[in-house]
Amino acid sequence: MSTGEASFRLRPGFYSRPDFFVTDIVKGTTRTATGTRVCALTNDFLIGFRDALIYETGKSYRKVMKRCGRRWGEQFAKRFEKEIGNYLFKASLSELSAGTVHTYLAEAFNYHGYGLLKINLTYLEQGIIVAELAHSMMPSIVSSSDRPVDMLMAGFLGAIFSYLSGQDLDAIQTACPTQGAESSLFVIAASPWIAETETWLLKAPPHTVVAHETILKRMLGETLPGELTGSAPVEATS
The one-letter amino acid code at 23 reads T
195 in any annotated domain: yes
17 in any annotated domain: no
150 in any annotated domain: yes
6 in any annotated domain: no
Helices then strands, each counted (H, E), the chain: 7, 9
| Per-residue pLDDT in tens (0 to 9) along the chain, 238 residues | 555 444 555 666 788 888 888 999 999 999 988 888 988 888 999 999 999 999 999 989 999 999 999 999 999 999 999 888 888 888 888 888 888 899 999 999 998 899 999 999 999 999 999 999 999 989 888 877 778 999 999 999 999 999 999 999 999 999 999 888 999 999 999 999 999 999 999 888 877 889 999 999 999 986 544 555 455 444 434 3
Name the strand (E) or helix (H) holding 209. Answer: strand 208-210
For residue 202, the domain's CATH number is 3.30.1380.20
Q: Which residues are paired to 29 by β-bridges?
A: 24
Range of the domain at 112: 22-233
14 in any annotated domain: no
Question: What DSSP assignment string belongs to 127-196?
Answer: T-EEEEEET-HHHHH----SS---HHHHHHHHHHHHHHHTS-EEEEEEE-GGGT-SSEEEEEEEHHHHHH
3 in any annotated domain: no
Q: What is the pLDDT of residues 168-213, one digit of tens each?
A: 999 999 999 988 899 999 999 999 999 999 999 988 887 788 999 9
Write down the pTM of the prediction. 0.86
In this structure, the number of other CB atoms found within 10 A of the CB of residue 61 comes to 17
- pLDDT (0 to 100) of residue 12: 65
83 in any annotated domain: yes
140 in any annotated domain: yes
What is the domain count for the chain? 1
- pLDDT (0 to 100) of residue 192: 95
> Which residues, other chains included, contact 17 with Cβ-Cβ below 8 Å and sequence gap of 6+?
33
